Amino acid sequence: MSYLVLARKWRPQAFADVVGQQSVVRTLQNGLLRDRVAHAMIFSGVRGVGKTTLARIMAKALNCQAEVAERPCNQCESCREITAGAAIDLQEIDGASNRGIQEIRELKENIRFFPVKNPFKVVIIDEVHMLTTEAFNALLKTLEEPPEHVYFMFATTELHKVPITILSRCQRYELKRVSFAGLKAFFEKIAKDEGVDISDKALELISREADGSVRDGLSLLDQVFSFGGDRVTDEDVVQVLGLVDRKIFSNIARALLDGNLALCFELLEKTYGAGLDLKRFAAELLDYFRSLLVCRTSKDPASLLDMSDREFAELQELAENRSRETLSLLFQLLFQSMTEMQYSAHPRLVLEMAFIKAIQAGQITPVSSLLARLDELIQQGGGLVTLPPASPGANKAAVRQEPAAPETSTRPAVEVKPPEPPREKKEEKTPVKPVEKSSGKFVANPVEKEQVQQAEPQPQEEKDQAVAIRTLSRDVRKNWDDFIAYIKDRKAWMAQVLRLCENPREEGKELVIRFDNPSDYVLLQKKENLKFLTEYAQDFFQKEFLVQIGTSREKESGDAAEQSGPREERRALANDPLVQMTAEIFGGQVAAIRTGPRFR
């Protein structure tokens, strides 16, 4: 007797033997028990999940002659004939080779006659989607109102190709892929019954390669049994089936995430030397990164990933300390390289370049984190100076020390009394309101001067708290660089803008600041910034200055802003303090500036 392959030997003969289709099996069994079986049924799903098998089991159950609740019994004459393929009243048709209208006409003539031995005639059409449009149309009337002794059962892998007029006349059963755990348990049972010792890891490799198909898995298992005999090792499965141990994917993923390019090339060389197809290798590596991304983003990754517990724990450990953005970028790079490999004559070079790009990309920081960091640095005064926390005695006296006056100065030294302790009821002060004139000048109300008095005899405790200061008058031109340094400690971007001015000078009670390009001082014209600049100038030069900003060519800044063209706009963007500060913080540079309606 010729050898019977495992796919035929272990084909289910009863509903209890079907693997991984419990919902469909339960529906069919309940229909038999309640006598609610549809006259036309269509089974759909991927290859090797039991479509034709379920149709045959259903045909046996309909014609089973045993008086038992669980049908089919597989013991009566009708069940044995159908199992052996010798049943007269069961007609199996291959839809791929009998797809014309003439074959359907012959079928319609045959079903008019009553069954020979069994209660019902059963017609099974496999790959029904291969029938022509004319054949489907010829079958419509018969399928809608068939004779009472006829049942139709269709099987297809491409349900979308079946006309909707046929589907509406059938009861549909969509079979799903068999789970990884279900396949492994089924193959483990077969190996035990066949007397073959095989490891769990080898069964995992075969179950994963089967990709949800029982028939594919049985074919692979049959091939492995022929090679290994009574004992099958992990190396036998890898060698015979040309598979790759899943460990190599985790090693490459870890090397890419750690930036170890040398190890990536070493593992790729080992895979290439083993003779594995690189396109298939890239597809499986892409699937591994997809699993990593699912573990990092999903709240319940176990329901989305069909794999062993050992591999799932390894994935979670690897994805735990990686950002979503990093894993997403690596997935996109590998997906792009896999697409390019399909049309490339040198797929290995494409994959190696993908590894290099992934290493160079490095760890990705979310944009939200960068923006939050930038906002924090701006609030700290430009991000260049971090102010120390205030000391407990800072409220007693806050006095900035100035350089000592020359000995020739006739200004007397004065002492400032420390502020009085806070009272229960604080005095309300009128807020200082800035006044903006139409000429573009900004006037800030003078800061309330502290009352000073000549040194008088005071208690010793008060003398220790007193601070002696000397006021100096500074020249605008001579001390302009010092003024910029003074502002830089408070607002770095404002100091950067003032470096672009030309010939600052003092004209009466005005501090005149001119720029060659009106776009350079756009930011300074804002009310709050001009207020700060006025206060800084009055504080540094110790004069009641009114700050006037303009260009060296035009008197009013508004006219210059109206006449600025695209060149001035690009220059303004390039010299924007926020742009320069961002480039300095992140070590970048401005590559190109584009303006116009398309880019706004």
Dihedral, CA atoms, 140, 144, 148, 152, nearest 10 degrees? 60
The tens digit of pLDDT for each residue in 275-333 reads 778 888 888 889 889 999 999 888 888 888 878 788 888 888 888 888 888 888 889 88
Per the structure block, which two tokens stand in for 224? 């492995």
Q: What is the DSSP string of 373-402?
A: HHHHHHHTTSSS--PPPPPGGGGT------
Residue 551, strand partner residues: 515
HSE toward the beta carbon, residue 305, CA cutoff 13 A: 26
Per the structure block, which two tokens stand in for 557? 């800044």
Asked if residue 72 has a cis previous peptide bond (ω within 30° of 0), the answer is: yes
HSE toward the beta carbon, residue 314, CA cutoff 13 A: 15
pLDDT score of 99: 87
Q: Could you tell me which residue, 463 or 353, shows the higher pLDDT? A: 353
Q: What is the mean pLDDT of residues 460-469?
A: 42
pLDDT score of 169: 92
Over 90: is that where the pLDDT of 471 sits?
A: no
In whole angstroms, give the CA distance from residue 473 to residue 208.
Answer: 84
pLDDT score of 123: 94
In whole angstroms, give the CA distance from residue 103 to residue 402.
Answer: 108
Q: Which of 306, 288, 285 is nearest to 296 (CA)?
A: 288
Over 70: is that where the pLDDT of 470 sits?
A: no
Q: What is the mean pLDDT of residues 163-186?
A: 92
In whole angstroms, give the CA distance from residue 119 to residue 215.
Answer: 32
Range name among 157-166, 216-225, 306-315, 516-525 with the lowest pLDDT average = 516-525
Q: What is the DSSP string of 476-543?
A: TTTTHHHHHHHHHTT-HHHHHHHTTEEEEEEETTEEEEEESSGGGGTGGGSHHHHHHHHHHHHHHH-S
Inter-residue contact 350 to 272 (CB < 8 Å): no
pLDDT score of 399: 37
Inter-residue contact 92 to 124 (CB < 8 Å): yes
In whole angstroms, give the CA distance from residue 450 to residue 343.
Answer: 81
Instruction: Locate the domains of the chain by residue range.
Output: 6-174, 180-241, 246-361, 466-600
pLDDT score of 189: 92
* Model confidence band, residue 566 (pLDDT cutoffs 50, 70, 90): low
Give the CA angle between residues 574, 580, 586 to the nearest 5°: 130
Inter-residue contact 39 to 147 (CB < 8 Å): no
pLDDT score of 521: 77
The tens digit of pLDDT for each residue in 374-432 reads 877 787 764 444 444 444 444 433 334 444 444 444 344 334 444 454 444 444 444 44
What does DSSP assign to residue 442? E
Residue whose tokens read 């759909």: 44
Considering only CA atoms, give the Rg of the chain: 43
Neighbour-count burial for 143-174, b at 16+ CB within 10 Å, e otherwise:
beebeebbbbbbbbbebeebeeebeebbbebe
Q: Which of 168, 225, 226 is nearest to 198 (CA)?
A: 225
Per the structure block, which two tokens stand in for 135? 């054949």
The tens digit of pLDDT for each residue in 532-560 reads 888 888 888 888 888 888 876 654 444 44
pLDDT score of 594: 65
Q: What is the DSSP string of 228-245?
A: HTTEE-HHHHHHHHT---
Inter-residue contact 173 to 27 (CB < 8 Å): yes
In whole angstroms, give the CA distance from residue 281 to residue 235.
Answer: 18
Element holding 553 (H helix, E strand): none
Element holding 124 (H helix, E strand): strand 121-126
In whole angstroms, give the CA distance from residue 201 to residue 234.
Answer: 6
**Which CATH superfamily groups domain 6-174?**
P-loop containing nucleotide triphosphate hydrolases (3.40.50.300)
Over 90: is that where the pLDDT of 449 sits?
A: no
Inter-residue contact 191 to 203 (CB < 8 Å): yes
Element holding 371 (H helix, E strand): helix 367-379
The tens digit of pLDDT for each residue in 480-539 reads 888 888 988 888 888 888 888 877 888 888 888 888 777 777 788 888 888 888 888 888
Q: Could you tell me which residue, 370 or 524, shows the higher pLDDT? A: 524
The 3-class secondary structure across 309-346, one letter per residue, is HHHHHHHHHHHCCCCHHHHHHHHHHHHHHHHHHCCCCC
CB atoms near residue 403 (< 10 Å): 9
What size, in residues, is the chain? 600
Over 50: is that where the pLDDT of 46 sits?
A: yes
User: How far from each other are the two terminal CA atoms of the chain, in whole angstroms?
Assistant: 80
CATH fold of the domain at 180-241: Helicase, Ruva Protein; domain 3 (1.10.8)
Over 50: is that where the pLDDT of 570 sits?
A: yes
What percent of the chain stands above pLDDT 70?
78
20, with CB counted inside 10 A (0-12, 13-18, 19+), is buried
Over 50: is that where the pLDDT of 228 sits?
A: yes
Look up the CATH architecture of domain 246-361: Up-down Bundle (1.20)
Over 60: is that where the pLDDT of 473 sits?
A: yes
The tens digit of pLDDT for each residue in 59-84 reads 999 999 888 878 899 899 999 999 98
Mean of per-residue pLDDT scores for the chain: 78
